[in-house]
């Protein structure tokens, strides 16, 4: 079977190779999945570059999420059937034709959800939902400030805001994204290359600032977001698109008792009771069934075209996720 692998860390287009490896057989409590689609996420690219917080032993196959169809059931597996579509949870290595997954780590996909949406279920929708509804608990009518608003996760946050009734202030780098994001429901959009984030947030919130913010950029932009927090405001940092650290104004934070802390979805899965996890996942699945949360797709590439796919995923100006598909 085909498997995308890398034997050293480096630029994805330079180190990724298509290799022919032995098709695995499921053991007790396991299933063999034929993978149908998988997204290329920033976490995947950072892992390949050796820059992610948790790195695999080499050689490795990338991919933290995807959707597949059950081809073979191992012994002792109940509640699933051959031909059923499922999402593997917490099982890396999705960038290959087949993979072994523990049956207890699979989520059935409702029929109305297509493969492109199901493949993106975990990383962006769950991260966005947990940050704004579980962690920050943004209430109806309140403001949420977010960076990288044109990203897949940023667009999902805008969808969640429309559902939950909170308002979004969205930071982008390119002016042409302003009208585009407003058309999908963004309340306010700030172009960071043209105007001061701090001044615009102050103007929008009538000098109050925001009580909730999420940041995927870091660097100077992250620092301006932190300065835009209201008294007791919280900023969650979930990404680092900028190589520079966030310059924090500690004096302002002290007197506003504001805070900045990290968010990592893997940690949420490790520390959250399974019943609560199931509640969140099921709620999101139903919203996807209803078409209320739909992760956008920029393009799809066959697994064989991995080099062009990762180059596209690393390009700027995308309006959705790049997916790897299999026939």
Of 21-35, 83-97, 207-221, 238-252, minimum mean pLDDT range: 238-252
My answer on whether 138 and 255 are in the same domain is yes
Residue 287 is assigned to a structural domain of this protein: no
User: Which whole-number Å values give the CA distances from 136 to 58, 213, 303, in the listed order?
Assistant: 37, 8, 38
Question: Into how many domains does the chain fold?
Answer: 2
Residues 66 and 187 in one domain: no
Residue 281 lies in a domain: no
Residue 90 pLDDT exceeds 90: no
pLDDT at res. 79: 93
pLDDT in the model for residue 242: 85
pLDDT digits (tens, 9 = 90+) for 207-259: 999 999 999 999 999 999 999 999 999 999 999 888 899 999 898 899 999 99
108 with 132, same domain?
no
Assess whether pLDDT exceeds 80 at residue 317.
no
240 and 180 in one domain?
Answer: yes
Give a yes or no: residue 174 inside a domain.
yes
Token readout for 319 is 């309006």
50, 15: one domain: yes
SS3 per residue for 121-154: CHHHHHHHHHHHHHHCCCCCCCEEEECCCCCHHH
Shared-domain flag, residues 102 and 134: no
pLDDT in tens, 223-236: 999 999 999 999 99
Question: Is 279 inside any structural domain?
Answer: no
Same structural domain for residues 131 and 258? yes
Q: Is residue 87 located within the same domain as residue 149?
A: no
State yes or no: is 52 an active-site residue.
Answer: yes
pLDDT at 304 over 90: yes
Collapsed DSSP state (helix, strand, coil) of residue 237: strand
Cα gap 321→154, rounded to integer Å:
12
Least confident window among 124-133, 151-160, 308-317: 308-317
For residue 282, is it within any domain? no
| Residue 65 placed within a domain | yes
Annotated active-site residue in 52, 98, 238, 301: 52
Q: Does residue 280 lie within any of the structural domains? A: no
On the question of pLDDT at 107 being above 80, the answer is: yes
Residue 225 lies in a domain: yes
| pLDDT score at 53 | 83
Looking at the predicted structure, is the pLDDT value of residue 135 above 90?
A: yes
Same domain, 46 and 157: no
Strands 98-102 and 30-39: antiparallel
Angle (nearest 5°) at CA 321 between 182 and 300: 130
Task: Classify 285 as helix, strand or coil.
Answer: helix
Domain of residue 230, residue span: 127-266
What mean pLDDT value characterizes the chain?
95
The answer, yes or no, to whether residue 54 has pLDDT greater than 90, is no
User: Looking at residue 205, which CATH number applies to its domain?
Assistant: 3.40.50.720
């Amino acid at each position: 079977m085909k498997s995308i692998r890398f034997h050293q860390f480096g630029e994805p287009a330079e180190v990724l190779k298509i290799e022919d490896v032995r098709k695995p057989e499921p053991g007790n409590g396991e299933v063999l999945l034929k993978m149908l689609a998988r997204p290329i996420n920033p976490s995947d690219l950072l892992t390949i570059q050796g820059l992610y917080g948790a790195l695999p032993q080499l050689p490795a196959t990338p991919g933290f999420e995807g959707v597949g169809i059950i081809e073979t059931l191992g012994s002792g597996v109940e509640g699933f059937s051959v031909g059923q579509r499922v999402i593997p949870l917490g099982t890396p290595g999705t960038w290959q034709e087949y993979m072994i997954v523990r049956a207890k780590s699979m989520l059935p996909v409702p029929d109305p959800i297509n493969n492109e949406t199901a493949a993106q279920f975990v990383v962006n929708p769950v991260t966005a939902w947990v940050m704004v509804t579980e962690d920050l608990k943004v209430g109806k009518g309140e403001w949420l400030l977010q960076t990288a608003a044109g990203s897949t996760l940023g667009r999902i946050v805008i969808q969640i805001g429309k559902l939950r009734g909170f308002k979004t202030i969205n930071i982008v780098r390119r002016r042409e994204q302003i009208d585009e994001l407003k058309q999908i429901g963004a309340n306010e959009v700030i172009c960071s290359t043209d105007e001061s984030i701090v001044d615009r947030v102050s103007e929008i919130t009538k000098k109050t600032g925001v009580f909730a913010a999420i940041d995927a950029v870091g660097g100077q932009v992250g620092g301006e977001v932190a300065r835009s927090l209201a008294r007791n405001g919280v900023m969650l940092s979930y990404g680092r698109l900028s190589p520079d650290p966030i310059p924090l104004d500690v004096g302002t934070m002290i007197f506003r008792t504001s805070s900045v802390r990290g968010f990592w979805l893997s940690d949420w899965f490790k520390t959250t009771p399974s019943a609560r996890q199931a509640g969140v996942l099921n709620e999101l699945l139903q919203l996807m069934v209803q078409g209320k949360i739909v992760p956008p797709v920029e393009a799809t590439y066959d697994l064989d075209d991995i080099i062009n796919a990762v180059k596209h995923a690393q390009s700027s100006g995308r309006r959705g996720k790049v997916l790897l598909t299999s026939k």
